[in-house]
Amino acid sequence: MVDVSDKPVVKRIAEAEGKIWLQPKTIEKIRRGSIEKGDVFSAANIAGILAAKKTPELIPLCHLIPLFKVDISFDVSEKYVTAKCTVVGECKTGVEMEALVGVSTALLTIWDMVKSLEKDEKGQYPHTKISEIRVVKKVKKLLDE
Residue numbers annotated as active site: 112
Could you list the beta-strand ranges (E) of 1-145. Answer: 10-21, 69-76, 80-91, 129-141
Mention every residue, 6+ apart, whose C-beta is less than 8 A from residue 95.
12, 13, 14, 65, 67, 87, 88, 89
Quote the CA–CA distance of 90 and 66 in Å, as a whole number: 7
Mention every residue, 6+ apart, whose C-beta is less than 8 A from residue 141.
10, 11, 13
